[in-house]
């Protein structure tokens, strides 16, 4: 994985854990989603604004996740976005969840751009694609 383009710091709360006191696996997906959303926002593209103004949203097309080590209650985590590649209608990126220098989760994510009205594939708006390419 290359250097992160964006990092989101978060803490593990009781609600994130399962009966064994570790983060429930599906909650890692929520953490990854939050980082992607905040990464877009940090680049001036609020997702609700994209939906309203451009009529498009990004949906997860595919996801490959490796759960390497568990996170636990009260852990401080850093969720990153890196290595973004833009296609005509897709974004492919790498994400990681770290506790300090320890990698807990690695994920490869492919997002598809879709038109809200018909929920059909769409090209990524030009200005947005240029942002990802540069």
Annotated catalytic residue 46: no
Residue 84 CA from chain centroid, whole number: 11
Catalytic residue among 16, 18, 75, 83: 18
Please name the residues in contact with 24: beta carbons below 8 A apart, sequence gap of 6 or more: 16, 17, 18
The candidate with the shortest Cα–Cα distance to 95, out of 64, 69, 70, is 64
The candidate with the shortest Cα–Cα distance to 91, out of 115, 51, 63, 116, is 63
- What are the catalytic residues? 18
């Amino acid at each position: 994985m290359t250097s992160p383009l964006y990092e989101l710091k978060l803490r593990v709360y009781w609600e994130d854990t399962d009966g064994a006191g570790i983060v429930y696996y599906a909650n890692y997906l929520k953490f990854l989603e939050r980082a992607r959303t905040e990464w877009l926002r940090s680049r001036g593209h609020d997702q609700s604004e994209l939906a309203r103004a451009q009529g498009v949203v990004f949906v997860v097309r595919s996801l490959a996740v490796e759960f390497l080590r568990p996170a636990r209650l009260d852990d401080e985590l850093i969720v990153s976005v890196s290595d973004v590649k833009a296609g005509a209608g897709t974004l492919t990126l790498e994400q990681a969840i770290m506790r300090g220098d320890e990698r807990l989760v690695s994920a490869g994510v492919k997002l598809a751009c879709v038109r809200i009205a018909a929920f059909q594939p769409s090209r990524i708006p030009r200005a947005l694609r240029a942002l990802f390419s540069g």
